[in-house]
Amino acid sequence: GKSNRVPTETNCYADIEAAFRYLLEVRRIQPEQVVLYGRSLGSGPSCYLAAKTAREGRSVGGVILQSPLLSAYRVAFNFRFTMMGDRFPNINYAPHIRCPVFIIHGTQDEVVPFWHGQDLFLALSQPWRAKPFWVEGAGHNNIEALLRTTGAFVDKLNEFLELHIAARRGKVAPPTEVPICVPAALRDLKASRQQQRALTSQSLFA
């Protein structure tokens, strides 16, 4: 854009924090209503902010990570630990995230290897692991195109939001662990559909 700042990891974090403050202070949106979406390198700022808000005691509502990386150096080398000078160490942030996380990754990703998505999923605390979406045969930049005809990409996003994000159903509440939030969401959705059917029946006989 019009920024004259140097593109650094620290400045990327500053940018997402500024955007988050705008949502909270100007738009008056609650943290629980915010779902972070990070694709590829963008997974870094998203994991950073999700972990930061959790440590501060008021986590964002959820996180969606598409083709995420474990860290910058690990894209080229399969290090067992985070090297000094590494950038966007998502694998270090993941255990501190305290909201449902949905990971999407192509099994034939030629830029960020598929195992990055798998290992990042395992690095998350188990109660916050939403069912991942491994896209068979997809690369780094063609997931949406590959699934366009079936609509599966948008369907999976909507499914995650409906089942894991209470704000999607009009409830502003702290994030709930996956084993608890999914059954609760299904009950809410069932009740909502029953209410809609009842209203439809009333209008037909009015």
List the catalytic residues.
40, 109, 140
The Cβ of residue 12 has, within 10 Å, a number of other Cβ atoms equal to 17
Whether residue 99 contacts residue 62, with contact meaning beta carbons closer than 8 Å, is answered with yes
Distance CA 67, CA 114 (A): 8
Whether residue 105 contacts residue 67, with contact meaning beta carbons closer than 8 Å, is answered with yes
Distance CA 59, CA 23 (A): 14
Beta strands 62-66; 133-135: pairing state = unpaired
Give the dihedral of Cα atoms 81, 84, 86, 87; nearest 10 deg.
120
C-alpha distance from residue 144 to each of 40, 47, 132, 140, 178 (Å)? 14, 22, 16, 10, 26
Distance CA 173, CA 175 (A): 6
